[in-house]
Amino acid sequence: MKTIVITGSSSGIGKATAKYFAEKGWKVAATMRRPENEIELNQLDNVSLYALDVTDEASIANATQQILRDFGTVDVVLNNAGYAVAGPFEATTAEQIQRQFATNVFGLMSVTRAFLPHFRANKAGLFLNVSSIGGRVTFPFLSLYHSTKWAVEGFSESLAYELGELGIRVKIIEPGGVDTDFAGRSMVFAVEEGLTAYNEALGKFQANQGKSGLAANTADFLAEGIYNAATDGKTQLRYLIGPDAEQVYGMRQQIGDDAFVAGVKERMLSTC
């Protein structure tokens, strides 16, 4: 029976993926900041809960030690924890910028580093790093979020070279739109009192969000895609998950960067 470690398992894609792998007979180490609040995953036989805050190095070290002690061997690490800061970049605070990168990028790197000695000793292992279609294309008023996901893309692609020489694989998960609480508890809106210069463009963007081309894929659907990426035995690096993600990125490839960016501007920042 194989074992997967999942960060950000308290909701959304992380929770759905923990449940899916457990149903497939895997042992699951589901990590989250406050496991004492979890009332669903702790009822599943194959799932064990661990406290892990990806922005806290001590928390990562403690969780890693506990997981390896309890399971002995870990086969897959799914770096899933993340959230988005939305709104005008000028309205963001230094704290918001730092926390966005601390969670989405530095936390992912720290968890990866924590499990690397184990994978290296076994000459095997797989890191699944959750990026987004937002790591391949961008939309207005999500500059911080996009910058973290593009960082995950570059980090993961480069890392795949060096770890491949050691028998360790890296794959990038790129979900499309998600029908979860991502726009609720997993999104922070940057607001600065008195800063009104962006109001018109922001209003247009909010009114045109349905024109992004992204659909509301269920977390269960995305969990199945992640499972397939973990078990297909392929050397494939990137996995666009969802027909919307494939269509949006396919359009960028077809018409080129400049035309794609111009099209996003026309759709998302035009007057309805």
Catalytic residue ranges? 131, 145, 149
Instruction: Kindly give, in sequence order, each residue whose CB lies less than 8 Å from that of residue 156, ignoring residues fewer than 6 positions away.
Output: 127, 129, 131, 170, 171, 172, 237
Rounded CA gap, 148 and 141, in Å?
14
Instruction: Assign 173 to helix, strand or coil.
Output: strand
Of 247, 41, 266, the closest CA to residue 140 belongs to 266
CB 45 within 8 A of CB 25: no
β-strand pairing of 27-32 with 3-6: parallel
> Cα torsion at 177, 84, 112, 173 (round to 10°)?
10
CB 174 within 8 A of CB 132: yes
